[in-house]
Chains A and B, each alone.
Chain A
């Protein structure tokens, strides 16, 4: 393209061309990892200081907009194309899920958690079950841990593939959306085979999972995870060196590690800022302590790196699933704990003990000690913390889901102020906000 020189031009006022292209073309290529100072400097260079000079136009981006992240509303104050201020408004999808949890027993809450981050339903089930099991001191058998790990990683793969499709669609193309949804169908078929549902799985139970791996699942799962990394390589080949994507994503939306800590931004945006924090490695739960995988880390803290982190996470997830299938132990898929878990369905009508256990668990609920727990797990979008306070009955007294999208939605003003609207779309897509997760 012959107009590269114009993109790099910087006028006397020091304000570069607002597409953030100035940073890419004007500086020499950076080899190695940027330091925090360099990142802060790049951020300051690519952003226009948000001063209210000239005409400010206020528009409302949302709640209905073509960007497919749900009904998030951002009231933007614009000075030309530059965003001077953002006031986010969430709550358009608020259900009162936490209040509803207080009226339901622990087993009945599991289908509610599915609908939190509905793209990765099992991961939410898993998080809640981990917290409830910590509270009730239920020991989950190893086979169940491995099945949960496989299902969580399939959720991660499905989430990141869908994220890619939606992200690229936000940037303008439709083709990638269709490609990604086609590949996601393979993972959804696996879920349908395993859990019975494509999207809202409700598969985890207190003490394990609902059913064992069906016949043929392992064979099919291996075929899918052998095939998906090749697909990811194809995505990277198309997207990574695509000139348009590079210009729209490189150097855009820099959010350093300190910003991430302050705004509680976790997951891929944090890992793209150079912080190798992954709860699967740092505080292992389920079978993550027994499998070998790398944490996906990049160092430039921009939209491009968040893409790279997620693609690497898909590959690592396939690796984890393969190891889980190889090392799958025999045994129960659900703990045998009459006070806290449901019995196996096929025993309920055959054994009186199981029938009584079923009756107690369904009609009265589990016997839970008094206390409070907070467990945090690595769901595909970040770190979800589940806080349960129990006063001793079958229902919790207070449940709080500290979901990643809630905090990422809050972090939109510091991420986006000073950027242009076009960059805002790219940035908002890269931090992966889903409103069901955000509003609960």
Chain B
């Protein structure tokens, strides 16, 4: 499995290269996250008290151990949650990987599986839950809605939760079969083993950076394509 290339690139293609660059030793963040934030970068290598960096071998052992008991937050939004629950059933059995203990409290969780579309009403709560999960944490965006908003390009849906929180693995599908989610979880486990996080090197979570960068701007006018078009092109995803 090639963890260098993301499972799915986000629509403007800027996110993953920026994160890859920032995760290199000595890497710095470039646009679109900018340097507006200030403060310490998130994630990165763990330091012992006194500033001594933890040796990589110990970090690998810790990662190996963590990868066998990744406890996601019990947080299902929509249809993908049903497939996530089916993964918890006995046919697909997430318990083989130690993940059946889905925690209800974010304080006890190791990560989140965002399963479903995120509305603007729910967005602050998703961000708050993400922030309440203690480090180290990993996020899996499950389903097209979490990756990019899917067909719900409307007034109340966030078009992809990677504009809110840093995402490690994207699992496409509508909904992805439990086997696809399993592959995504395997990719998460690879990242856990290497102690690589999506927030390594970020100064702030994407939502705050984007909002801060646009602090002086007026809200964008809706683009012309939001008006109904006279001839209907076949909508993506429907079968004739």
A positions within 8 Å CB-CB of B = 63-66, 68, 70-71, 91-97, 99-100, 102-105, 107-108, 110-112, 115, 118-119, 162, 177-178, 181-182, 184-185, 188, 198-200, 202, 210, 342, 345, 348, 358, 361-365, 394-395, 435-436, 439
Check A178/B232 contact, CB under 8 A, given A107-B238, A198-B177, A199-B82. Answer: no
Question: In the complex, what distance in Å separates the CA atom of A255 from the CA atom of B20?
Answer: 57
Inter-subunit contact B90/A436 (CB<8 Å): no
Q: Which of A91, A93, A112, A199 contacts B83 (CB 8 A)?
A: A199
Q: Which residue of A lies closest to B76 (CB)?
A: A68
- Whether B207 is near chain A, meaning CB under 8 Å from some CB there, is no
> In the complex the two chains form, what is the Cα distance from A345 to B154 in whole Å?
31
The answer to whether B79 touches A199, judged by C-beta atoms less than 8 angstroms apart, is yes
Q: Name the contact of A66 in the complex, choosing from B79, B81, B104, B157 (C-beta under 8 A).
A: B104
B77 lies within 8 A of chain A by Cβ:
yes
A66 contact set on B, CB distance < 8 A:
74, 104
Residues of B within 8 A of A119 (CB): 82
Within 8 A of A (CB), among B99-158: 104, 106, 116-117, 119, 121-122, 125, 129, 151-152, 154-157
Q: How far is the CA of A439 from the CA of B118 in the complex (A)?
A: 13
Smallest CB separation, B43 vs chain A (Å): 24
Is A93 in contact with B116, judged by CB distance below 8 angstroms? Answer: yes
Contacts of B122 in A (CB 8 A): 63, 71, 92-93
Majority DSSP secondary structure for residues of B touching A: loop
Interface size class of B (residues with CB under 8 A): 35 or more
CA distance A105 to B175 in the complex (A): 23
Q: Cβ of A202: which chain B residues have Cβ within 8 Å of it?
A: 238-239
Compute the total of residue contacts between A and B using a CB distance below 8 Å.
132
Complex contacts, B73 vs chain A, CB 8 Å: 64
Q: Which of B155, B231, B237 contacts A111 (CB 8 A)?
A: B237
User: How far apart sit A363 and B76, CA to CA, in the bound complex (Å)?
Assistant: 36
Is there an interface contact between B119 and A118, defined as CB atoms closer than 8 Å?
Answer: no
Q: Does B55 contact A (CB under 8 A)?
A: no
Residue numbers in A under 8 Å from B215 (CB-CB): none
Q: State the 7 A-B residue pairs at the shortest beta-carbon distance, nearest first.
A: A181-B89, A118-B79, A96-B154, A66-B104, A92-B122, A95-B152, A182-B90
Give the distance in Å from the alpha carbon of A102 to the alpha carbon of B226 in the complex: 13
Residue pair A358, B78 in contact (C-beta under 8 Å): no
| Contact string against A for B residues 195-234, beta-carbon threshold 8 Å, 1 for contact and 0 otherwise | 0000000000000000000000000000000001001111
Interface assignment of B41: CB less than 8 Å from any CB of chain A = no
Kindly state the separation between the CA atoms of A181 and B91 in the bound complex, as whole angstroms. 8
- The closest CB in chain A to the CB of B83 belongs to A199
Shortest distance in angstroms between A265's beta carbon and chain B's nearest beta carbon? 23
Q: How far is the CA of A263 from the CA of B232 in the complex (A)?
A: 40
Any chain A CB within 8 A of the CB of B29? no
Chain B residues with CB below 8 A from A71, complex form: 77, 122
List, in ascending order, chain B residues with CB within 8 A of A70's CB. 76-78, 81
- Given A93-B119, A94-B156, A348-B240, 7 more contacts at CB 8 Å? A68-B76, A68-B85, A92-B119, A95-B156, A108-B238, A185-B91, A199-B82
Q: Across the interface, do A108 and B235 meet the contact criterion of CB distance under 8 Å?
A: yes
Closest residue on chain A to residue B125 by CB atoms = A63
Closest residue of A by beta carbon distance from B91: A185
Q: Is the Cβ of A181 less than 8 Å from the Cβ of B86?
A: yes
CA distance A365 to B119 in the complex (A): 30
- The reply to whether B77 and A361 contact each other, CB–CB distance below 8 Å, is no
- Contact (A95, B91) CB under 8 Å given A68-B85, A199-B175, A364-B232: no
